[in-house]
Amino acid sequence: ETGVTQTPRHLVMGMTNKKSLKCEQHLGHNAMYWYKQSAKKPLELMFVYNFKEQTENNSVPSRFSPECPNSSHLFLHLHTLQPEDSALYLCASSQEVGGAGAGELFFGEGSRLTVL
Amino acid sequence: QKEVEQDPGPLSVPEGAIVSLNCTYSNSAFQYFMWYRQYSRKGPELLMYTYSSGNKEDGRFTAQVDKSSKYISLFIRDSQPSDSATYLCAMKRGSQGNLIFGKGTKLSVKP
């Protein structure tokens, strides 16, 4: 495996379900991110982790719960979601928080979430 | 006023055309400017970046930053069907800052 991998690629869940998204980076980076991508909207930063410590929570509702057990793995636990939470959830990593200098983020292919 | 404005398109051009993609921004503190390319069903990938003002060229791609006008551009020469993707501009204040993204412009290059 190379780069940033996300599972599952597609997820359909009801509003009362509990599910988790998983992200793994094989790049030796120290920072990991969750972004939300909705149609016709800019990428929204949700959470930032640096050396597995959360450094930013961008006013995300508590029905989204991140977990970062180590610098290579990131989870997003989902519970009692709303239909408006349907979106593409992208995981990214960078060598340092913010991606020092050029700011290159390496993204996974995303998990497409549909909330019924 | 949004920090970063980008016309989502879609933009359709014939193969071989010169493509111009643009973003405007409101925060004069932005110093780092990037263009990410996102193919369908893929994550974004960094295409080009520029620090402060000026031009940068990489093959068929040229990135321009005009800080006086708060305007950045990406030009694609001799566009190819393989350039069909969504192009997202992104920028940030300092080296440790978080990126602020535009909405992305969906480009289609027709053979």
Phi and psi (nearest 5°) for A85?
A: -85, -5
Q: Is residue A22 predicted with pLDDT exceeding 60?
A: yes
Q: How much is the average pLDDT of A85-92?
A: 97
CA-nearest residue of chain A to B102?
A42
pLDDT recorded at residue B54: 85
pLDDT(A100) > 60: no
B96 or A111, which is more confident? Answer: A111
Q: What residues of chain B lie within 8 A of the CB of A56, using their CB?
A: 98
Residue A50 main-chain phi, psi, to 5 deg: -125, 120
CA B14-B76-B8 angle, 5° bins:
75
Counted across chains A and B, CB pairs separated by less than 8 A come out at 67
Average pLDDT over all residues of chain A:
91
Q: Which residues are paired to B36 by β-bridges?
A: B46, B88
Q: What is the pLDDT of residue A102?
A: 61
* Residue ranges of E strands in B59-104: 61-66, 71-76, 85-92, 100-101
**Residue range B40-48: average pLDDT?**
94
Q: Is the pLDDT of residue A73 over 90?
A: yes
Say if residues B48 and B25 touch (Cβ distance below 8 Å).
no
pLDDT of residue A95: 87
Q: Residue A104: closest CA among chain B residues belongs to which residue?
A: B46
User: What average pLDDT score do residues A87-113 get?
Assistant: 86
Cβ-contact B102, A42 below 8 angstroms: yes
**How many helices and strands (H and E) does chain A possess?**
0, 11
Q: Is the pLDDT of residue A97 over 60?
A: yes
Q: Does residue A76 contact residue A68 with C-beta atoms inside 8 Å?
A: no
* Chain B residue at shortest CA distance from A95: B96
Residue B96 confidence (pLDDT) above 80: no
Please name the member of A42, A43, A107 whose beta carbon is closest to the beta carbon of B45.
A107
For A24-60, the pLDDT digits (tens) are 999 999 999 999 999 889 999 999 998 888 888 888 9
